[in-house]
Amino acid sequence: MPEGDTVWLTAHRLHAALAGQPLVRADLRVPKLATVDLVGRQVLAVVPRGKHLMARLEGDMTLHSHLRMDGAWHLYGAGERWRGGPMHQVRAVLAAGERVAVGYRLPVLELLRTEEEGEAVGHLGPDLLGPDWDAEQALARLAADPDRPVGEALLDQRNLAGIGNVYVAELCFLRGVTPWTPFGAVPAPERLVALARRLLEANKARPGHVTTGDTRRGRTHWVYGREHQPCLRCGTAVRSARHGDDTRQQDRVAYWCPRCQRGPAPAPDPGPDPGPASSSARC
């Protein structure tokens, strides 16, 4: 699932391409919106809210989309070939001026009154990249359940909006705790929240997420996606396991260094049972 900085960059690019111009094409390829005609309406703004995108149109209308696991918006020039996937995966086409925005595999696409955007995003906690970011409120929401594992708490967008699994892994590493550490046991939790904002701010204007300061391939992350590879700090093999709330289908793969990070963690997988030893084996 895209992190908040990826969604911020997507919104920034869509805004730069479409805002201030009337739509000359608006093709919404979901059944409930198939007959909606938005052509001629001016695009006022495209803004992010956590991992949600809001395209605000004149007439008190907002086109709300969410990328979830593999949705994406691509921008093309007029007449340029679309390359985001097969045509049956296109869910939205918005054209203004010389640019065309194509939404692929969008699991959420709905039209709201702008004044009712809160119905879609009102449950979210403070937005790490939003103009109204409130660190104290985010910290209070996280601390309200001190026994909850920190990785699960950070993924919960009701606490603070914008953190995905990449940043959970990297934040836990940088603060020296495992994702299963109860939030109430995390030292200086205010530093964790401040670091989350710094990382997203540092990465929001570029594709990808660099948390190590090293942009070379294979060295952009401390532990995320590095299972069995040596920790970039101590050389210990990085481990992985599931974490999060599997009852709500919100579990993810956690990555951590068993030497650099303290706290509870699943026992290593012993591997397949080799079965009884052969009678011919030597003792």
Query: What residues are labeled active site?
Result: 2-3, 51, 252
Calpha distance 199→24 (Å, rounded):
38
Q: Which residues of 213-239 are buried (b: 16+ CB within 10 A; e: fewer)?
A: eeeeeeebbbbbebeeeebbeeeeebb
> 279: buried, middle or exposed (CB in 10 Å: 19+, 13-18, 0-12)?
exposed
By the 8 A CB rule, do 111 and 141 touch? no
Look at the block and give the residue holding tokens 């004149």: 58
Length, in residues, of the chain: 283
Phi/psi-derived region of residue 15, left when phi > 0, alpha when psi is between -120 and 50, beta in every other case: alpha
How buried is 31 (Cβ within 10 angstroms: 0-12 exposed, 13-18 middle, 19+ buried)?
exposed
Q: Where are the beta strands (DSSP E) in 43-195?
A: 43-49, 52-57, 61-66, 72-77, 90-96, 99-104, 108-113
As beta bridge partners, residue 108 has 66
Which tokens in the block code for residue 195? 């670091």
